[in-house]
Every structure is written in structure tokens, then in C-alpha cells.
């Protein structure tokens, strides 16, 4: 229900109640008149009443009319139409008093009765109606006075003889009646004003109480908001610490301290299985008596320590095969609400994140170390081992040349010296993880042509063919293709007994292909059968690892000799076109 409808209903109820209270007051003159007539009839001789002039109608008729009128007013009030009843009541009394005033004249008592409808109009209708009736009464009295001055007597009948015989009695009854009616009207008006004042005071008290409640609620919400803001800032600080490469020995004590300050607990422990990783205060860090059995869910339980018995909130978390526990002990745990538990769970989760980050960092470091060892082993095999193999071969050729053809020994020694310098440069490049020395000065095509121009065995013929538009590839792709070419040529020298090798580099639309084909003995059948499970052929394993790292494919086959087929997609797909050197 809207406020307007509520106010309208209250006004209707107030007006109905006021009208019902006013009806007995309006009936006072009638009751006094009836009582006075009956008293005079008993005190005076009967013949004096028979001398009164005859009037139209009978008292019974007037009584019946008054009863019907009052009943109609009550019915309108019960039907929720108090305004109609108010206008009818005020209009009826205005009509009666005006009629009596006109018939009795200006010198009679009856014009004073106009006070009654004026008061009733102000009480039952509004102040404008009271002022209007006062204006009409003033005009009526003024008109009667003017008519008297002009010699016109508007009174139709002489007053009853009893008025002349007992004027003091009539005056006494009239004024007492008027006084009591005015007093009754005033009492009713004062009662309404007093009730309105009491209601106003009650509303003021309610408003004051509501204001006090609102202030308390605002203060409570402000304090709660400040607490939540402080907790959010603390969680943010911990999250920021987690995002930085900070040591876990700094993060976990920070979490324990924040739990102590935000939740107002006495002691805080962060444990991994039965090992205490952090605590607050720091004196409890090496607490030996805090032993918590694995629990499946958050619970409040009693624990013992060297500081005594504690009521503790234990928050577990299963991290792989280990259990992380955040233990909050102190009297404040008994009053912990849902927000406190949510904050405790958030702190627990951050501790878990810190521990998990430490584990992942350790795994990454181990993996990086393993990859670096593998890379160094692969680079040493592809560079130093191959270079040393070439040096050994050239030194052997030098020994044979000294016996059969001394003039060729200097050529072999020069080649061995060049290979030694190249192997030294490759070793340094592997240590510093730099690109291959050949790629520092040349493109991939030129680097492969340079390898072909200086084979490890002088009698080995190596041909190079470039198909398609030569492109500048990603550094890792070029390095991988060059290393694979070096390994393939080393295998030809060491194993295949080939006399001719063809290298074909094909630049396609979406990938580059490398084909190395020799006319030697080919691969052993066990290698071709178990290409993905090679364990004893480190050179081939290194080739496959390099191809896998750049997302390519390696296929080994025999076609009148060994065939190495490598296909690598462009990375990135948009490559830069370079000129052939």
C-alpha cells in the first residue's frame, strides 16, 4: 500500500470517529429542550400550556425526523463516506439555527446558536468551511439588525408566554446549554489536537530511534567495509609477492603473519605433512608438539603445543601426495564467522600456490639443466666429435702420405689444422649457446655449400642442389638443418664407405626439405625397423631431437645407399626473402 492511500485511509477513519463523537454533542439542545418542557409541564398548571399558540405538527414528528436524520448520518459514516455526513450535519444545524434566529429576531438568544455550526464546520470539515459559515452568520445578523432599524419585524410569532413569565429560567437553560456545547466542541477539538501531538511525538521518537539505528548500521557497515578492504589489501600484497621471483622462505612467513594480524589468532602454523614451514610468532616456528593427523576437510579441533591447549581451525589441502595444513589457534576461533573462514581458506590457498610454484620452479630448473646437458652433449657430438674424427682421418692420411707421397702431406696437415680451428670455434659456440660459426658469416645455403666444399675425406664427392626461392629461416631452424647435414656427412665418412653424396635443399610453399643421399652401404636394417626407439646411435638420436624441437619430421630409408629426409615447416610462416650468395 502506498503512503498516499495509507494517509487517505487514516483521514477517513479520523473523520468518521469525529462525526460519531459530535452527534451526541449536537443532540444536547434537543435533550435539554425536552427535559425543560417536561419539567415546566410538571411545575406549571395545565391551562398555561393550553394558552400557547398552536403550532404545525407535533413533537413526535420532529423526534422521528431527527432519529431518521441521525441514522442516515451513521449509515454514511459506516459506508466510509464521512464527508457526506459532515456536510449534512453542519448543513442541518446551520438551517435550524438560521431559521430560529430569523423567526425570533435579532434581540433573541437564537442568533448565538450559530456558534455551533461554525465550530462544527471547523472540526468536521476544514477551516475554510468554518470561516465561510462565520461570514454567513455575520451577514445574517447584520441583515436582521438592518431590518430592525428599518422597522421591519421578521419574527412571525411571539415567543411563548413562559419566556415572558420566567425569562431568568429560559436564559439560564439557554446559556448553560450553549456553554456545554461549546465546551464539548472544544474538548473534542482539543482531544484531536492532543492525539495529533502525541502521534507527532511518537513519530519523532520513531524517527529518532530509526536515525540511531541507521547510524549504528552505517558505522557497523563502515567498519566491516574497512575490515574487508584491509583484508583485500593484505591478500593483494601476498598475491603480488607470489607473482615476483621471491623465495618461499619469505612468502610463507608473510602469509603466517597476515593470518595472525587479520584473524586475531594467537598462533599460526603452515605445515607440510608433519614439517613446520612457517609460523607466527617466530618462537613457534620450531614447535615440536604440533602433530596433526591427516584430515579430509576444514574443521575446528583442539590441539596441544608447548604453549598449552588451543582451539584451532585446521585447513587442509592435498598437494599431490603431500598434505598442506594452515593451523590457526586462539580464542578468536570460537567467534570466527563465514567471512573469517573464507579469508582463512584464501590464505591457505595462497600458501598452496607458493608451495606449488616452488615445486614447478624446481621442475623447470631440472628440466632446463637436463635440456642444457642434452644440448651440450649433442653439440659436442655434432661438432667436436666430428671435427676430431676429421682431424684423425687427416692425420692418418698425413702418415700415409709421408710414406708414399711426401708432397701431399702438407695438404693433409693444413686441412687437419683448419678442422682443429673450426672444432675449437664450435666448442666455444656450444658453451655460449651461440649459433654455428658458419651461419655467422653465411646463409644456410652457403653454409651447406661450404661443408660440401671441404669434406672430411678428400676422395668424397659432395654435390649440393638448391630448389625453389632461398629464404631466410628462423635461427633455430637453420642451425638444426646445418647440424643434421654435418651429422649425416660424418656418418657417411665413418660408416657408409660411400664415394658420392648429394645434398638437396628444397624451399616449398609451406616448408623446407633437406634430402641427403649417398651411394654407400646404407643404414642397418635394425635402425630402419626401430627408428623411434634408437638408443645406441647417439648421432641419429641427436638428429631426431633437433627435428622434434622445431616441429619437423625425420625419415630414414635405403635407396641404393642411405637417405636422410628432413621436412620442417616455416617458423614463423612469413619468412624474409634473401638473395642467393
> What pLDDT, in 10s, does the model give residues 516-560?
999 988 888 877 777 655 545 667 777 888 888 888 899 888 988
Q: What is the phi/psi pair of residue 275, to 5°?
A: -105, 130
Q: Is residue 501 within 8 Å of residue 489, measured between CB atoms?
A: yes
Residue 578 has what pLDDT?
46
Better-scored residue on pLDDT, 48 or 444: 444
pLDDT of residue 199 exceeding 90: no
Residue 194 has what pLDDT?
77
| Stretch among 14-28, 37-51, 265-279 having the lowest mean pLDDT | 37-51
Better-scored residue on pLDDT, 2 or 5: 5
> What is the CATH number that goes with domain 441-581?
3.30.565.10
CA dihedral 206, 207, 208, 212 (to 10 degrees): 100
For 253, the enclosing helix (H) or strand (E) is helix 248-263
For 181, the enclosing helix (H) or strand (E) is helix 167-243
Residue 518 has what pLDDT?
92
pLDDT of residue 338 exceeding 80: yes
Over its C-alpha atoms, the chain yields an Rg (Å, rounded) of 60
Residue among 255, 339, 278, 266 nearest 303 (CA): 266
| Stretch among 122-131, 171-180, 380-389, 558-567 having the lowest mean pLDDT | 380-389
pLDDT band (50, 70, 90) for residue 580 = very low
Q: Which residues pair with 302 in a beta bridge?
A: 311
455 DSSP assignment: -
* Cα atoms found within 13 Å of the Cα of residue 387, Cβ hemisphere only: 17
pLDDT band (50, 70, 90) for residue 318 = confident
Residue 278 has what pLDDT?
84
Residue 516 has what pLDDT?
94
Residue 66 has what pLDDT?
61
- Residue 537, classified by CB atoms within 10 Å of its CB into exposed (0-12), middle (13-18) or buried (19+), is middle
pLDDT of residue 504 exceeding 50: yes
Residue 165 has what pLDDT?
66
Quote the cell numbers at residue 214.
541507521
Q: What is the mean pLDDT of the chain?
A: 76
pLDDT band (50, 70, 90) for residue 579 = very low
- pTM exceeds cut of 0.85: no
Residue 7 has what pLDDT?
65
Q: What percent of the chain clears pLDDT 90, i.e. is strictly above it? A: 5
The Cα 174–Cα 108 span in angstroms is 11
- Tell me how many degrees the CA angle 401-406-410 measures, rounded to the nearest 5: 85
Better-scored residue on pLDDT, 67 or 344: 344
Q: How many helical (H) and strand (E) elements, i.e. helices and strands, does the chain have?
A: 18, 12
pLDDT of residue 58 exceeding 60: no
CA dihedral 293, 297, 302, 303 (to 10 degrees): 40
Q: Which of 177-186, 261-270, 570-579 shows the highest mean pLDDT? A: 261-270
Residue 392 has what pLDDT?
80
Q: Which residues pair with 267 in a beta bridge?
A: 329
What architecture (CATH level 2) is domain 246-366?
2-Layer Sandwich (3.30)
pLDDT of residue 284 exceeding 80: no
Residue 329 has what pLDDT?
85
Which residues of the chain are in CATH 3.30.565.10 domains? 441-581
CA dihedral 224, 229, 233, 239 (to 10 degrees): 80
Which residues of the chain are in CATH 3.30.450.40 domains? 246-366
Q: Is residue 108 within 8 Å of residue 159, measured between CB atoms?
A: yes
pLDDT of residue 468 exceeding 80: yes
Quote the cell numbers at residue 105.
429576531
Task: Name the 3-class secondary structure at 412.
Answer: helix
The 3-state DSSP composition of the chain as helix, strand, coil percent (nearest 5) reads 65, 15, 20
pLDDT of residue 255 exceeding 50: yes
Task: Name the 3-class secondary structure at 268.
Answer: strand
Amino acid at each position: 500500500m502506498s503512503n498516499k492511500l495509507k494517509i487517505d485511509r487514516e483521514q477517513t477513519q479520523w473523520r468518521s470517529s469525529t462525526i460519531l463523537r459530535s452527534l451526541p454533542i449536537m443532540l444536547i439542545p434537543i435533550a435539554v429542550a425536552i427535559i425543560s418542557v417536561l419539567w415546566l409541564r410538571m411545575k406549571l398548571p395545565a391551562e398555561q400550556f393550553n394558552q400557547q399558540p398552536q403550532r404545525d405538527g407535533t413533537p413526535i414528528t420532529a423526534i422521528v425526523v431527527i432519529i431518521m436524520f441521525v441514522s442516515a448520518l451513521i449509515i454514511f459514516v459506516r459506508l466510509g463516506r464521512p464527508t457526506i455526513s459532515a456536510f449534512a450535519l453542519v448543513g442541518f444545524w446551520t438551517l435550524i439555527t438560521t431559521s430560529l434566529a430569523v423567526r425570533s429576531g435579532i434581540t433573541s438568544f437564537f442568533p448565538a446558536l450559530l456558534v455551533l455550526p461554525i465550530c462544527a464546520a471547523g472540526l468536521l470539515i476544514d477551516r475554510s468551511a468554518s470561516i465561510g459559515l462565520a461570514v454567513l452568520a455575520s451577514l445574517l445578523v447584520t441583515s436582521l439588525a438592518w431590518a430592525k432599524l428599518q422597522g421591519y419585524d421578521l419574527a412571525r410569532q411571539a415567543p411563548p408566554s413562559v419566556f415572558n413569565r420566567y425569562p431568568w429560567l429560559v436564559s439560564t437553560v439557554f446559556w448553560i446549554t450553549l456553554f456545554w456545547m461549546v465546551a464539548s466542541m472544544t474538548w473534542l477539538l482539543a482531544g484531536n489536537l492532543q492525539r495529533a501531538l502525541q502521534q507527532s511525538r511518537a513519530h519523532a521518537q520513531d524517527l529518532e530511534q530509526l536515525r540511531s539505528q541507521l547510524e549504528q548500521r552505517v558505522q557497523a557497515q563502515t567498519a566491516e567495509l574497512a575490515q574487508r578492504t584491509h583484508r583485500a589489501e593484505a591478500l593483494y600484497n601476498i598475491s603480488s609477492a607470489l607473482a615476483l621471483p621471491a623465495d618461499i622462505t619469505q612468502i610463507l612467513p608473510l602469509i603466517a603473519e597476515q593470518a595472525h594480524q587479520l584473524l586475531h589468532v594467537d598462533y599460526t602454523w603452515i605445515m607440510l605433512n608433519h614439517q613446520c614451514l612457517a609460523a607466527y610468532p617466530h618462537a613457534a616456528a620450531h614447535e615440536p608438539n604440533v602433530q596433526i593427523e591427516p584430515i579430509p576437510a576444514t574443521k575446528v579441533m583442539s590441539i596441544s603445543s608447548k604453549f598449552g591447549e588451543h582451539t584451532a581451525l585446521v585447513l587442509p589441502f592435498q598437494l599431490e601426495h603431500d598434505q598442506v595444513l594452515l593451523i590457526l589457534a586462539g580464542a578468536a576461533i570460537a567467534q570466527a564467522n563465514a567471512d573469517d573462514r573464507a579469508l582463512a581458506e584464501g590464505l591457505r590457498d595462497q600458501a598452496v600456490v607458493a608451495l606449488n610454484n616452488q615445486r614447478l620452479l624446481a621442475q623447470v630448473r631440472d628440466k632446463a639443466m637436463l635440456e642444457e646437458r642434452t644440448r651440450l652433449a649433442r653439440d659436442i657430438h655434432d661438432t667436436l666429435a666430428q671435427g676430431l674424427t676429421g682431424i684423425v682421418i687427416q692425420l692418418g692420411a698425413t702418415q700415409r702420405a709421408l710414406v708414399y707421397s711426401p708432397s701431399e702431406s702438407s695438404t693433409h696437415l693444413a686441412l687437419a689444422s683448419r678442422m682443429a680451428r673450426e672444432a675449437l670455434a664450435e666448442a666455444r659456440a656450444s658453451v655460449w649457446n651461440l649459433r654455428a660459426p658458419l651461419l655467422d658469416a653465411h646463409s644456410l645455403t652457403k653454409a651447406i655449400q661450404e661443408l660440401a666444399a671441404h669434406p672430411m675425406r678428400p676422395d668424397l664427392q659432395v654435390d649440393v642442389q638448391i630448389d625453389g626461392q632461398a629464404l631466410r629461416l628462423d635461427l633455430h631452424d637453420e642451425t638444426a638443418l646445418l647440424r643434421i647435414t654435418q651429422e649425416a656427412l660424418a656418418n657417411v665418412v665413418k660408416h657408409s664407405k660411400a664415394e658420392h653424396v648429394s645434398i638437396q635443399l628444397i624451399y616449398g610453399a609451406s616448408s623446407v626439405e633437406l634430402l641427403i643421399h649417398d651411394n654407400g652401404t646404407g643404414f642397418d636394417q635394425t635402425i630402419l625397423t626401430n627408428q623411434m626407439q634408437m638408443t645406441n646411435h647417439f648421432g641419429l638420436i641427436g638428429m631426431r631431437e633437433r627435428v622434434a624441437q622445431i616441429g619437423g619430421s625425420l625419415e630414414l630409408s635405403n635407396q641404393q645407399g642411405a637417405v636422410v629426409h628432413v621436412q620442417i615447416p616455416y617458423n614463423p610462416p612469413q619468412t624474409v626473402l634473401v638473395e642467393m650468395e
